[in-house]
Structure 1
Amino acid sequence: MSLFDMQSLEIFFQIAACEACFSEPHKLKMNRGVSFPSGTSLETGLEDLTLSKFSDEVSSVGSQGDLDDFSAQKDSFSHMSELEHSDMHEENPNCIVLSNADMVEHVLLDWTLWVTAPVSIQIALLGFLERLVSMHWYRNHNLTVLRRINLVQHLLVTMQRGDVEVPVLEKLVVLLGVILEDGFLASELELVVRFVIMTFDPPAMLTRNNVVREAMGKHVIVRNMLLEMLIDLQVTITSEELLEQWHKIVSSKLITYFLDEAVHPTSMRWIMTLLGICLASSSTFVLKFRSSGGFKG
């Protein structure tokens, strides 16, 4: 029997975050009040606020003060950008500001409390988290706070459970993809890649010519969802430099580990899809794949 119902969940949402809305006059005041640190021009300010790909500035590494400063700067830029285009939207919807990280970490992300809840409640919970990291206003603040409590690790731990229903797993993967897409942080990508690799435990070979394929199970379903999500993210990358970093951290490791006869056929299809995309999108990857013996056999 579930400990909580939808009404309880709504109360938890209100404890975890608050809503904020802005009237048009307030927007104009805020627009005039946006400022950069002293000695910083508008142009250099915008450059400084750009999130460099694969940096770990908002990961758990670094001081608390650095994270707060980074969040404040990005939020200031987000507000300015939105306010400059306020004429395009007569009325912005209310936005959610994460205000109680402890509630999120110790209640909403503690899946032992929600495992017996109906699937609809579990999906609503994840939908709330997705809203926090998807909306424009205060998105950077929300992401910074959630990264500080290691949201990606919490999601992966939940996906590792054997009692999570497939629709909930699908929602978890969507949420994970939204987080990874923000900055493509190396530390988060490495966590996901290690998790995907962990789902494969090659069966023992009976004989040299008799390879036993792994059986279908929840672990294969989770793996395939994550592989599809990572492929979808990869095809959005247009920067050649970022793509090379992605190949190094994600693609090469997955292809190397899963090009195994024992891998379930459904996973092998995703790996071959990933390999084809890598070969078609990067000449450097082709050279490395050829030099490592990838075209032999």
Structure 2
Amino acid sequence: MFDYYPEGWINDTPENRAALQNISALNDACRDGQILEGRALICDSSHNLLVDLGCMKGIIPHDEGALGIREGTVRDIAIISRVNRPVCFMITSFQKDSEGHLTALLSRRAAQEKCMEEYVKKLTPGDIINARITHLESFGAFADIGCGIIALLPIDAISVSRIDHPRERFTVGMDVKVIIKSIENGRITLSHKELLGTWAENVAMFKAGETVAGIVRSVEPYGIFVELSPNLAGLAETKEDVVPGQQASVYIKSIISSRMKVKLVIIDTFDYSYRPAAPRYFYSGNRIDRFVYSPPDSEKEIVTEFASK
């Protein structure tokens, strides 16, 4: 299966730059049906995109701006939001203006159709692919999985440790790995937490008796949940004036594998604004069928099944 990438991934590659070098190279790309990228400079009043091709001007007509634009199932914001960003496209033809200057006619829609047929439609649950975060909502993150084709990563699939908003994990433009969770009626749902390691892999980074950094995730009547890593949280004893979102220094009192428990004591908390770091992945393969988060000696088994039934 040929790999397709999120928009922006190939913009600065030698192959893409070479294809935009001169008219002859653009002609070759047109003949071969090559997918290229260039930066969108302007969206005009008719919502056509003007694209910088280096050696000439390129135009993506409104109806060719994205899959679904022509049918009315996708709003024009999908075009407008690409201004000053890389866009993928295929060259469909060339035309001369009244002064004899050549303009390349481009289609982002055609690039997305090719990506859909040759790549997206061949994906199955459990496949691990590259993605780029495009925008964040309270219920999840939207990610480009290839040529501007968007899929949803629900908030509860981002990490084992619960968060209030995806911005606590991601920033727009961040490149991540994701797993195809489900495909229903053409809609793709993603997952992410299974790539962040099992309970055992995460707890191995810590030892009882250490004082470490954490993030307060929730304050309950029976204790305070503190995140030690995106896939690991411990329970601390109650303490006054602690609120979710604070950074914390916590003492690790004990680690109980059979119950997947990390008992903590909060030493100090403070407010701190931070920018999410790139995720650390424990799994590097290109497919996962079954993920077992819980350790072998645990009283409870926590499993994610991805294999198609």
TM-score, structure 1 normalization:
0.25
Bigger CA radius of gyration: 2
Structure of greater relative contact order (alpha carbons < 8 Å, 6+ residues apart): 1
Using the size of structure 2 for normalisation, the TM-score is 0.24
Structure in which a larger fraction of residues adopt strand: 2
Structure with more helix by fraction: 1
